[in-house]
Amino acid sequence: MSEQLKIYLKVFFGTWIICCLVVAYLNYQIDPFAIYHPPESLRNGWLAGDQNYLHTTFVRLHKAQLLSLNRREGKASSEILLLGNSRMMQGIDPGDAVFEGKAFNAGLSGATTYELYRYLQHAESLHPIRTVILGLDYIMFNPTRKTRLDFKEERLAVNEKGEANHWYSMSDLGETLFSFDTLLKSKVVASKMKAVNEEGHADPEAVKSFEKSVQQEFYEYREFKGKGIEEGGGYLHYQNILNFCEQNHIELLIFISPQHCYNVEVASELNQEENVENWKRELVQMNDAVEKNQGEKRIQRFVDYSGYNSITTESVEGKLSGMKNYFESSHYRPSVGGVIIRDLLTGNRREAFGKELNGTNISKMIQVMREEKDHYRSMHPEMIERVKEWGGAVKKK
């Protein structure tokens, strides 16, 4: 090898190493995934705030690595684990005083029950969990629903069998530090933060409209192929969550999310109302079966906040930004989340919002909710017509 070639290779590889180190340093300082030094609100896993861009693109990376970071720093912010989809993620503030700084919001946009089960395993392996608050939706149990592309088994501390993954903390180093693509994401960080208002919540004018969120619900229901527990899928992993909490002596508080009644009306429009009711019955049966088999009451509450009640029937007339309870039809505001949490933890229930479900009263509660629906629909025929119109637009696409 000639001396000139040796010099060339030294310069080439030296320059390459320096460039890699510079990229890694800049990525660490910019931290577009908010995993190395996030603000305190993000350390608790709450993504309804100043880094709204994380909601859909990087949330699984962000939450998994943040739980690991909290463990390394000795934080106890995951004693209470909040599990659910984007409604949990945006609607329940882990910084609420009622949690006393011990809650972590592990909500994931478009979550499957399998992902929730795996993040529960991940969190428990890093720090003992005392309480799980689990937010559920019917669509979450669709057996054909797939995990999002940003879900990676190797970034979780244990595998599905509970066996340790010793290299989990290294799984995202290449993607988050030694990557020119990550540098480009810093531009995304700056642009997406414009979609957040001065209160730290997603600006309704910068997200999908109320009408589009109702139309999205039509798509979700039409993709739902499962008819019952025999289909497996979401039910299987829900059962895994129940069993895991029992085996690890974790208190479990479960609730059904309060989508706006326009979204609930979609089920009626598509003749899936009975399927939703059967879903609730099956969840009650599964909850009761676990307690009967284990002989220990770990499921402390199961409350249904959906339907037609004082929160979900808020008027949609006027500007969306004027709504008190919702960002749009699918996602409730943290003010509603605060009501839910205080009810679940203290029993301080707001009148006409939330119905306790169990094996003794499930049939009665379903009948009550049918009557509430019929009464509201009779008083608001414009809602029925509007949902039909928006659903008709979906059919034409």
Please state, in angstroms and rounded to a whole number, the distance separating the CA atoms of residues 75 and 87: 25
Report yes or no: 268 and 321 within 8 Å, Cβ to Cβ: no
Going by C-alpha positions, the residue among 258, 244, 304 that lies closest to residue 279 is: 304
Give the up-direction half-sphere exposure of residue 168: CA atoms within 13 A in the CB hemisphere. Answer: 24
What does the pLDDT profile of the chain (397 residues) look like in tens digits?
677 777 777 788 888 888 778 777 776 776 777 777 676 667 677 765 444 555 556 888 888 888 888 777 666 567 999 999 999 999 999 999 999 888 999 999 999 999 999 999 999 999 899 999 999 999 999 888 888 888 999 889 999 988 888 777 666 766 766 676 666 665 555 455 444 443 344 444 433 578 888 898 898 887 775 554 445 568 899 999 999 999 999 999 999 999 999 999 999 898 889 999 999 999 999 999 887 776 666 778 899 999 999 899 998 876 555 688 998 899 999 999 999 999 998 877 666 788 999 999 999 999 999 999 999 999 999 999 989 888 887 765 5
Going by C-alpha positions, the residue among 349, 252, 242, 370 that lies closest to residue 294 is: 242
The predicted model scores a pTM of: 0.85
C-alpha torsion 46→50→55→56, nearest 10: -160
User: Can you spell out the DSSP letters for 26-46?
Assistant: HHHHH-TTS-SS--HHHHTT-
